[in-house]
Structure 1
């Protein structure tokens, strides 16, 4: 367990260091309050010095915004290729996270935040971090993400295919981009009658498992390797009153036995995630995609099929060749029965000022219907 140390009122103090992005504990820490100027805070952060905030909560948020504005003055340059532009963009985002992550707040033994005008963050922190285990130091930017996640969890995301809301937990990919959900809701189902089974691999919030049950699948087994996702899926399945038809198991990718339908929406981009939330989008070397394809033949019933839902954003970014996915499907002993596509509806696809806009505008999400050869 990492610890940070600083001197305050001529007394050496310490706190347990917590970072969801696995950022190392800062080596140098100073105390900051309402007198801290934005230029000074930005300079210290760029030099690697962290600041424990002792002033007003809302002033801390304003200071964080001011530091962010200073980072905006140096936008990342474009590369000579889509792949280079992507890596430069990721490098700039990583630098931004490191700088903004240097403004720290202290959580007390019960996860409370003792600052002037601070909100009650105990429930949000308990849901994200688990039961409190002593005072800890976290970055203000991370805490704001925790607070935002609590609000999304309370509000939920409307899913037209379910005529209901899905409630994402902290660290679990939210189904805000609905096109992949619509593909699963509209793709033709093979066979009918009682006893049909399905696996939803990497279930996340449980939204696709719920859609499959909504479409008449009798028994759905949902899996994930992320304990937070398993808890989130169980919560949503209970909210939707589907516990008699959906079983959540894990942590694992494939459950035991075989299914008539195996569905998987793996992370789309073969790159390293820098936070827990990014694990739903970034997957180094397409590890989950390859494991899914490799394991399919031994988990499909003789007449079963699999649905692979995958964006081609990686191809437009130059991170994966156009032939890589079809070749991996063939190498796994599978064949493509059909393929359905849709265009993204999110604002980034239509905003020319969005980073990597050219690739995002060309993006297509596909549902590949696969069967064993």
Structure 2
């Protein structure tokens, strides 16, 4: 059973359906001058070949790397923000759900996400994102702790490291408490809920503020035959939730945001300062007297040099709501071979925290 899903519309990259005042770039043009204009605020349309867009982005990276030389995590985040702002002025035309250039990849999301538009412009980085997402969706993501292959939906965060899933699986294998009602906050691609199901939990209330996550997990539950075991809801934290749970599971973002968060994957990676206080306050109202809160976290912020405290420890120190019942850690191994994400997170450990209500 799922709630309010009929009213949810997929979040998709913004498009331009009108004529654009832009520079049309062909291979024999001056690429340095074109990139300079793009940084200054002009739109550029990649014409003729798909690879022309790749050439422009390559030159843009080179030009910005001369300006942003700080190699720290914070410095590289500033570089990425500048690159993102400029690169989204590079457009490519879509016609009849296909990229209107030669030697372009087939991106299935163009048909699934834009059935109502026949011709438009979209930013080249958004096309790259859709193309990468489509390849993961078609090939699937093998999750050994589940012994199944997931099909992650567009705009939904999914892991390429699985140590936190192994830690959670280890906990579930030894869990001997009641399994009547579970709430998962931030269902994402559904992995934790599916682990719960495979360990005997049959009544899971899963929620996410990301529309695409809810849509994607809804598709996956049907494909995997789990739809009778999960109730899905689109909302912020415990919004619309009237369940009192034996277990509340939350795999929150691991790094505090220093920028304004966008909807979707951005909120899966970074958290606003008030997220954890709001979570703990609401969790206390939805947890049975003998229930447990299971949080999956990491020391990633400290590993990458961010000056932030562990919000779970802060909750235990500063409020009288919960006590620590269990704390497990596990070293993080290298990324999946199929991902191109940089593996620069040495000494990272994932953590599993189990909190219980303090007896009154």
TM-score bracket for this pair, using the shorter chain length: 0.7 to 0.9
Alignment partners' CA distance in 2, 1:266 and 1:21: 27
The verdict on how the C-alpha distance between 1:52 and 1:318 changes in structure 2, with shifts beyond 3 A counting, is closer
- The equivalent of 2:154 in structure 1 is 170
TM-score by length of 2: 0.83
- The equivalent of 1:336 in structure 2 is 324
Partner residue of 2:103 out of 100, 117, 129: 117
Kindly indicate whether residue 29 of structure 2 is the aligned counterpart of residue 44 of structure 1: no
- The equivalent of 2:8 in structure 1 is none
CA apart distance, 1:291: 2.2
Partner residue of 2:280 out of 289, 293, 317: 293
Checking the alignment, whether the CA contact within 8 Å between 1:68 and 1:100 is kept in structure 2 is no
CA apart distance, 1:206: 0.7
1:205-253 CA-to-partner distances (Å, cap 9, x unmatched) read 1110000110111211111111100011112222222122222222342
CA apart distance, 1:149: 0.4
- The equivalent of 1:6 in structure 2 is none
- The equivalent of 1:256 in structure 2 is 242
- The equivalent of 2:176 in structure 1 is 191
1:1-373 aligned within 5 A? 20=13, 29-74=22-67, 76-78=69-71, 85-108=72-95, 110-121=96-107, 123-127=108-112, 129-133=113-117, 135-188=119-172, 189-192=174-177, 196-254=180-238, 255-271=241-257, 272=259, 273=261, 276-285=264-273, 287-316=274-303, 317-322=305-310, 324-330=311-317, 331=319, 333-347=321-335, 357=344, 360-373=345-358
Alignment partners' CA distance in 2, 1:281 and 1:118: 30
Alignment partners' CA distance in 2, 1:148 and 1:223: 25
Secondary structure of 2:44's match? Answer: strand
Checking the alignment, whether the CA contact within 8 Å between 1:266 and 1:288 is kept in structure 2 is no
Secondary structure of 1:361's match? Answer: coil
1:9-67 CA-to-partner distances (Å, cap 9, x unmatched) read xxxxxxxxx98489xx9x96222222223222222222222212232223333333343
Alignment partners' CA distance in 2, 1:50 and 1:341: 48
Alignment partners' CA distance in 2, 1:213 and 1:144: 34
Checking the alignment, whether the CA contact within 8 Å between 1:199 and 1:221 is kept in structure 2 is yes
Checking the alignment, whether the CA contact within 8 Å between 1:234 and 1:248 is kept in structure 2 is yes
Alignment partners' CA distance in 2, 1:332 and 1:169: 39
Alignment partners' CA distance in 2, 1:125 and 1:162: 30
Aligned-pair Cα RMSD in Å:
3.0
